[in-house]
Amino acid sequence: MALCDILEALRVEKPGSLPNERGHIMTRGFTRLVLIWAIGTLMAGVAGADSSPGDAMLAEYFRVETARLRDACLADVQDREDWEQRREESRRQLREMLGIDPLPERTDLRATVTGRTERETFVVERLHFQSLPGLYVTANLYVPRDLTEPAATVLYVCGHGSSRRDGVSYGNKVAYHHHGVWFARHGFVCLIIDTLQLGEIEGIHHGTYRYDRWWWLNRGYTPAGVEAWNGIRALDYLETREEVDPERIGVTGRSGGGAYSWWIAALDERIRAAVPVAGITDLEDHVVGGCVEGHCDCMYFVNTYRWDYPQVAALVAPRPLLISNTDRDRIFPLEGVLRTHARVREIYRLYGAGERLGLQIAAGPHRDTQELRIHAFRWLNQHLRDDDSLIERAAERIFDPAELQVFQELPEDQINTSIDETFVPRAEPALPDDAEQWRALRDGWYQALREKSFRGWPDPEPLGLERLFAAEREGVRLEGYQFASDHTFRLRMIVVEPVESRVGEAVEMHVLDQAGWEALLARYGGVLAEELGVSESEGESGEESGEAFALAAERLARSPGPRVYLAPRGVGPTAWDPSPRGQVQIRRRFYLLGQTWQGMQVWDVRRAIQALRALGEGRFAEARLELHARQQMAGVALYASLFEAGVARLVLDQLPASHREGPYLLNVTRYLDLPQAVALAAERGQVQLNDVEPEAWSYPEHVSRALEWPETRLGIEAR
């Protein structure tokens, strides 16, 4: 379809008539608006009145990807023997996705009781232990009076229940202390532990949700891993107490504590019965339904192996498990809870243990209701004490927060507030001295990138390459193409070349960020608008547009060959919700699916290279290809060049010195950082770094010298 046909189909007469009420792409004038809308229409079909083409494609992409993971979850388990052969590897994968594989060293807990609070039938000990040196876990231990033998014990893990007064945090254990009171009054020992967020020492769960700590993805860090490890160490502590029967330990908690109950029960078989309350639903609810927007990062593992959540639940089988929820919970919707239960029920049936899996749905919203408590109490009473008696006394709040406070002064050696910096180790790659050492490093990095960072790349779809338009002016030819990057995203590629361009010349592919896309429209948009017969918009006179084009044409005449401009997903025609909150939640959805936005842009660049090579009559099949990009997109282009043959040269402007500044790729800094990636690229072709700090790039310089690569392989221009 030609651009004039698009215009006729749209019948656009003025900016306000475009069928888009969001307005977030209506910033560069009518010319650019027409172009963006036309391109998007070609790629995505008719967009809804309240969404851009990019939003529509993104929603469809998430729907399809989520369905794939849902359909694959536990689908190939044949029988009990098959499951048990897979179970330990699944458990190891979960530890890895939580950042605790291998498990950290079980250092001295240094458990300390700082005080006691007594009541008629039980005692509360105020205590702390260190799950790692300096990683403090504050807790209250509820112990019935007059125990004559070790008792059934419950580990209670808290949700997000702030308890603050006069600037002092008493920990979320205070908000949930009524659970400990009930268990102690009924013969249980109960340990309630604070979590990282809202504990007495206040750490952070909201790294990507609120604080733009996207480097957590690079590190493979999630606060869910800290909570899982603290729970495992809490079990270690309970085993040291003479009041505790280690053969009868259960776990429960709600909301965030419900999620931590899953991690602990799935990973540690010392848990003999579990009641996660309002702590799990499936990816369909999180990604498609949008529940992710109500959750902080403690609810999620880094989904390297692309699980859906029933696989976590299955790791508890065949131990007694009650899945508990309310029917109007907005962040753990009923439908997803039911789907999760139905899938895990099949695993329990393999054991002939269907009676050990329970589902309790009470009326109400996302709240700690009495109905939820009663069923949890009964389940744990039955499966840890063989007691099926009725509940005759409710859980009661009886303590002032100060009565449960562990620290009067917080310890100076605490690392709770900085644990994200150290919990998952960052790689410190060795400097190779010879080719053999280099090959070992290189091969290991490629394997890690394929398996840990880019596992979410799809199987290649047909390119579906299509020319959309062609225009010529003053010796310059512009052609627009679209191609399929995956099952949903059809991306835009614009070829700009002199009319007299010769087949086989070098070609530059420029990988654009949003600023680059807008600059491209400023440069060439006026020409295309004239081809359409559309007048210039206010603020973009024909004279200004003509001057921009003349300058671009002059530069093009001096270049060694054609230029290709690529807008990866989320840029230009496929740009989606640009609001800060929208951007955050879109990025989080990607990582729930075992991907990142920028990791999938790497795939887009790979597909664009394939599309370029496939253009009609082989016009670029043998051309010398250069990739050009800037800032974070330079990192995207860099990684694409590692996986796509035939990139002769990289020109990377303002490439960040570390992934800490982007691009953000799953797990990457557990193995390498951008200097090592540059070394990988320099082995394959020329790399030119512009406007950078030279001292940050000593690693690839060392490798180049040690392996005696030609001096032309690596160029560095200081800023």
Characterise 669 by phi-psi region: left (phi > 0), alpha (psi -120 to 50), beta (else). alpha
Residue 616: pLDDT band by 50, 70, 90 thresholds? confident
Q: pLDDT for 207-249, tens place per residue?
A: 999 999 999 999 999 999 999 999 999 999 999 999 999 999 9
Burial of residue 180 (CB within 10 Å: 0-12, 13-18, 19+) is: buried
Three-state DSSP class for residue 319 = coil
Q: Helix %, strand %, coil % for the chain, to 5?
A: 45, 20, 40
Q: pLDDT for 129-166, tens place per residue?
A: 999 999 999 999 999 998 999 999 999 999 999 999 99
Q: pLDDT for 45-86, tens place per residue?
A: 333 345 689 999 999 999 999 999 999 999 999 999 999 999
Residue 533: pLDDT band by 50, 70, 90 thresholds? very low
Model confidence at 537: pLDDT above 50? no
Q: Taking the chain, what is the end-to-end CA distance rounded to the nearest angstrom?
A: 45
The H or E element containing residue 628 is strand 625-630
In DSSP notation, 52-96 reads -HHHHHHHHHHHHHHHHHHHHTTTT--SHHHHHHHHHHHHHHHHH
Whether the bond into 144 is cis, omega within 30 of 0: no
- What six digits make up the tokens of 157? 């893990």
Which ranges constitute the DSSP H helices of 99-220? 172-175, 177-185, 215-219
The single-letter code of the amino acid at 496 is V
How far is Cα 195 from Cα 204, in angstroms, rounded to an integer?
10
Burial of residue 43 (CB within 10 Å: 0-12, 13-18, 19+) is: buried
How far is Cα 174 from Cα 313, in angstroms, rounded to an integer?
28
pLDDT for position 560: 61
pLDDT for position 561: 79
Beta strand segments in 474-580, E: 476-484, 490-498, 507-511, 563-567
Domains of the chain in start order, with CATH, are 3-51+458-620 (no CATH), 83-419 (3.40.50.1820)
How far is Cα 273 from Cα 269, in angstroms, rounded to an integer?
9
How far is Cα 182 from Cα 195, in angstroms, rounded to an integer?
21
The model's pTM is: 0.90
The single-letter code of the amino acid at 436 is E
Burial of residue 25 (CB within 10 Å: 0-12, 13-18, 19+) is: buried
Which among 520, 527, 534 has a CA at the least distance from the CA of 550?
A: 527
How far is Cα 29 from Cα 599, in angstroms, rounded to an integer?
31
Residue 500: pLDDT band by 50, 70, 90 thresholds? confident
Is the C-alpha dihedral spanning 637, 642, 646, 649 positive or negative? positive
**Cβ–Cβ under 8 Å, residues 169 and 200:** yes
Which has more confidence, 709 or 4?
A: 709
Model confidence at 402: pLDDT above 70? yes
Looking at the DSSP bridge assignments, the partners of residue 692 are 718
Q: Please give, one letter per residue, the 3-state secondary structure of 644-693.
A: CCCEEEEEEECCCCCHHHCCCCCCHHHCCCHHHHHHHHHHHCEEEEEEEC
The single-letter code of the amino acid at 229 is W
Which among 583, 610, 582, 580 has a CA at the least distance from the CA of 598?
A: 583
Q: pLDDT for 320-332, tens place per residue?
A: 999 999 999 999 9
Q: pLDDT for 3-42, tens place per residue?
A: 333 333 333 322 222 223 333 333 333 333 334 434 343 3
- What six digits make up the tokens of 160? 């997000």
